[in-house]
Structure 1
Amino acid sequence: MTDLLVHDLKIVFCGTAKGKLSAQTGSFYAHPSNRFYKTLFDAGLTDRMLIPENFQHLLKYGIGLTDLNQTESGMDRSLSLDGFDIAGFHQKMLTFSPKIVAFTSLKAGRVYFGNRHISCGLQRQKIGTSLTCVLPSTSAANGHWTRDRHHWYQLAELLTET
């Protein structure tokens, strides 16, 4: 499955790796219990609810998608550290230079920044000129979703400010 990246994006969402169903179907955030597309709509980042099979339509909203680990799929706990290509991801972000790079899980943010104490929200570090933020995972496996989902709404507000 290839990245959804073009120049002049507002946001690039970066996960750790595709889930098993996403890898099988070739669609990002494909599991029916994943809240990704619903959250984009609820936060006002899209004007309609998209479905995983139509993830390419995110480009109309200035949204791109990628993952840190392009060689493995599955739950975070099943991924090897060797599968994460931090340098390759960093170079992609410098090349495409979106306004915001948003990591779609604490794990993704912590792996990228090499800091296991990173928390959700806007980060001080930039990637080139791109702002960075870490968001709570939209996976149904995230037991802290109710408490932490406000970070997705803050991202939408940040986007209108930039």
Structure 2
Amino acid sequence: MLRDRRPDESVCNCRINPGLMTAVTGHHFARPGNHFWPVLHAAGFTPRQFRPAEQGELLDHGLGITNVVARPTARADELTAEEYREDGRLLAEKVARLQPRWLAVAGVTTYRVAFGDKHAAIGPQERTLGATRIWAQPNPSGLNAHWTLATMAEEYGRLRTAAFAES
């Protein structure tokens, strides 16, 4: 959904790659167990919890969605490090051209591999893509047992505070 940048696009959420449900429906974070939509709302990005089919409404709230890797898979571990690096390079070119204020990458491991930063941690990164700052977010997959909905919402809320304080 990262298209010609709107002047008010503050945060582009960048998932790892489309899952099979997304490939079928055409909607990001479409699997029912994914925590993205509840976390986005709990963090204060949206006035209510959106459904995947409403992803187009995110632009009205200064948000966009894209992927690091374009190829759909059943699981992220089906992707190769080479795909992460090559598609990460293409993503960096797209982001530098369209310039959202923030790129929120779902999964610190994804960020580390795609952008070659093996010491990255969750939170704001020193690296930028043109004028775009980067924030590594917890992966909202229902398989991510290290983060609860509440702790994910708290971390996403930190980004929201940073992103919209700049507006």
TM-score with structure 2 setting the length: 0.88
- Which whole-Å CA distance do the structure 2 matches of 1:156 and 1:38 have between them? 15
**Mapping of 1:99-110 within 5 angstroms?**
99-110=101-112
CA distance, structure 2, for counterparts of residue 118 and residue 106 of structure 1: 7
Is the 1:6–1:64 contact (alpha carbons within 8 Å) kept by the matching residues of 2? Answer: no
Question: In the alignment, which residue of structure 2 is the partner of 1:87?
Answer: 89
After TM superposition, list the pairs within 5 Å mapping 1:26-41 onto structure 2: 26-41=26-41
Partner of 1:21: 21
Distance of 2:76 and 2:46 partners within structure 1? 27
Which consecutive residues of structure 2, in runs of 5 or more, have no partner in the other structure? none
Aligned to 1:60: 60
Identity of aligned residues (%): 26
> Which ranges of structure 1 fall in alignment gaps of 5 or more residues?
none
Counterpart-to-counterpart distance in 2, 1:93 and 1:37:
23
Structure 1 runs (4+) greater than 6 angstroms displaced: none
Shift of 1:152: 0.8
Shift of residue 79 of structure 1? Answer: 1.2
Aligned pairs (5 A) from 1:1-162: 3-7=1-5, 8=7, 9-84=9-84, 85-146=87-148, 148-149=151-152, 150-162=154-166
Matched letter for residue 45 of structure 2? L
Taking the aligned partners of 2:78 and 2:62, their CA distance within structure 1 comes to 31
Which stretch shows the higher mean deviation, 12-21 or 66-75?
A: 66-75
The two structures, once aligned, show a CA RMSD in angstroms of: 1.6
Q: Which one has the bigger strand percentage?
A: 2
Tell me by how many angstroms 1:148 deviates.
Answer: 4.8
State the secondary structure of the residue aligned to 2:129.
Answer: coil
Conserved in 2, the CA contact under 8 Å of 1:13 and 1:101?
Answer: yes
Distance 2:126 2:53 in 1: 34
Q: CA deviation at 1:125?
A: 0.9
* Structure 1 contact 70–83 (Cα < 8 Å) conserved: no
d(CA) in 2 for partners of 1:104, 1:117: 16
How many residues get paired?
Answer: 160
Which secondary structure does the structure 2 equivalent of 1:86 belong to?
helix
Kindly provide the amino acid, as one letter, of the partner of residue 4 in structure 2: V
**In structure 2, what is the Cα distance between the partners aligned to 1:116 and 1:31?**
29
How far apart, CA to CA, are the structure 2 residues paired with 1:145 and 1:59? 27
String of CA shifts for 1:20-42, please: whole Å, max 9, x gaps. 11111111000101111111111
